[in-house]
């Protein structure tokens, strides 16, 4: 049984009351990230930890310092620490401290890749190890139970068998998929941090709704993690927007993805598939880009783990849009996914699934319409400098 600390005796019944209770978490994360980012930039420049341009995957004109992921991690951890110190917030110390340890581990894995360049298979294995750590903490158990209840009407041996079969692969799929989806979308100045910041805001909306209107065993970890990441991303973004003064690196993009994966699993603890599907839809833009990337590489006979410059944002840039325009469009698309995902608050499950199906169909139609399954070299190329 997880330890719970800081039990509140005051009932919280409105959105403003919840925000008043939890806003210091976002503020602490924001402040630490704002202070840590220029410091990390200074250290990176002093130590020569920079991302050097090349003629293919890195089109920026001059070396840009890394360690932005370290700054975001510090802000995120500070927000989590603030929740432990708050006098009126309940937290499960084992879960939240375990998630913090997993986030620190994934940041260090990404940092090592930024510094030394890991083989994709080694990085994938490290992601799986972190996912197994989260599984050990108990994340994913109730999620799988909710899924099995869709297919099994009565509890019994068959349901327990389904839980045993699906728990580990489903957990690995969410964690490894989210980390890599976030990493893949980190291709333009301000793109990944801004997109994941908006996604964190969407998660926060879902979390506050569950906190207020659903009788659940766990509510607070969702709000804490979404606000901690929102504040950390917001503090980093002013230094990362075009033209970027510092890069996020794999250290930051993988941490952002892991935080999203943990939140999706925590929404699964509601034991209602609608909340999990809603959270997945909120995370829709990185997921769509990852699926498009894998489909494009598979269709064209490319190795699935080989990098290219044919992501949706690269294709928009190649068609004449500036980096800032592409990033603005990406933010708008992310907000659209968030609005669709949070519609689960107002709709019954069957109607929400219908809305999600329509949204997915529109994405597929857009990909087909604009021929986004092409590989680089089959389309007219524009200037790829990040301006």
Per-residue pLDDT of the chain (387 residues; tens, 9 = 90+): 444 444 343 455 678 888 888 889 999 999 999 999 999 999 999 998 888 776 656 666 778 898 999 999 999 999 999 999 887 777 888 899 999 999 999 999 999 998 887 888 899 999 999 998 998 888 876 666 656 555 544 444 455 555 655 677 888 899 999 999 999 999 889 999 999 999 999 999 999 888 887 655 556 899 999 999 999 999 999 999 988 899 999 999 999 999 999 999 888 876 667 788 889 999 999 999 998 888 888 877 777 777 677 788 888 888 888 899 999 999 999 999 999 999 877 777 778 788 888 888 988 888 888 777 776 544 444 444 444
Tokens of 12: 């919280």
Look up the domain containing 234 and give its range: 11-272
Helix (H) or strand (E) holding 92: strand 91-92
Q: Is residue 22 part of a domain?
A: yes
- 297 lies in a domain? no
If we measure between CA atoms, which residue out of 192, 276, 205, 310 comes closest to residue 241? 192
Q: Is residue 99 part of a domain?
A: yes
Establish if 286 belongs to a structural domain: no
Start-to-end CA span in the chain (Å) = 52
How many separate domains does the chain show?
1
328 domain residue, yes or no: no
Compute the distance between CA of residue 364 and CA of residue 372 in angstroms, rounded to an integer: 10
Instruction: Give this prediction's pTM.
Output: 0.87
Q: Kindly tell me the burial class for residue 116, based on how many C-beta atoms sit within 10 Å of its own C-beta (0-12, 13-18, 19 or more).
A: exposed
Q: Is residue 160 part of a domain?
A: yes
Cβ(175)–Cβ(143) below 8 Å: no
């Amino acid at each position: 049984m997880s330890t719970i600390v800081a039990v509140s005796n005051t009932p919280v019944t409105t959105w403003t009351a919840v925000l008043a209770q939890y806003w210091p978490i976002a503020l602490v994360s924001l402040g630490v990230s704002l202070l840590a980012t220029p410091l990390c930039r200074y250290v990176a420049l002093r130590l020569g930890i920079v991302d050097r341009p090349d003629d293919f995957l890195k089109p920026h004109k001059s070396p840009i310092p890394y360690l932005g992921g370290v700054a975001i991690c510090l802000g995120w951890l500070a927000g989590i620490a603030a929740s432990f110190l708050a006098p009126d917030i309940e937290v499960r110390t084992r879960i939240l401290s375990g998630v913090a340890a997993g986030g620190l581990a994934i940041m260090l894995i990404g940092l090592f890749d930024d510094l030394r360049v890991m083989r994709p298979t080694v990085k994938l294995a490290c992601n799986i190890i972190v996912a197994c750590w989260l599984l050990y903490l108990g994340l994913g158990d109730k999620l799988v139970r909710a899924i099995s209840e869709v297919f099994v009407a009565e509890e019994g041996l068959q349901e327990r068998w389904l839980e045993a079969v699906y728990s580990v692969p489903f957990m690995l799929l969410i964690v490894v998929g989210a980390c890599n989806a976030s990493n893949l979308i980190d291709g333009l100045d301000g793109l990944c941090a801004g997109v994941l910041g908006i996604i964190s805001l969407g998660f926060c909306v879902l979390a506050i709704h569950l906190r207020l209107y659903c009788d659940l065993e766990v509510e607070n970890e969702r709000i804490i993690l979404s606000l901690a990441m929102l504040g950390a991303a917001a503090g980093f973004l002013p230094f990362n927007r075009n033209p970027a003064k510092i890069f996020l690196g794999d250290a930051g993009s993988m941490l952002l993805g892991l935080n999203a994966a943990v939140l999706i699993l925590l929404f699964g603890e509601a034991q209602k598939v609608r909340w999990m599907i809603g959270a997945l839809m909120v995370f829709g833009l990185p997921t769509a880009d990852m699926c498009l990337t894998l489909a494009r590489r598979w269709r064209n006979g490319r190795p699935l783990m080989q990098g290219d410059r044919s992501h949706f944002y690269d294709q928009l840039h190649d068609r004449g849009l500036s980096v800032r325009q592409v990033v603005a469009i990406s933010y708008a698309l992310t907000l659209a996914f968030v609005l669709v995902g949070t519609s689960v608050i107002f709709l019954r499950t069957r109607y929400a699934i219908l809305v999600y199906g329509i949204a997915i169909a529109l994405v597929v139609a857009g990909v087909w319409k604009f021929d986004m399954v092409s590989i680089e070299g089959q389309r007219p190329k524009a200037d790829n400098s990040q301006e």
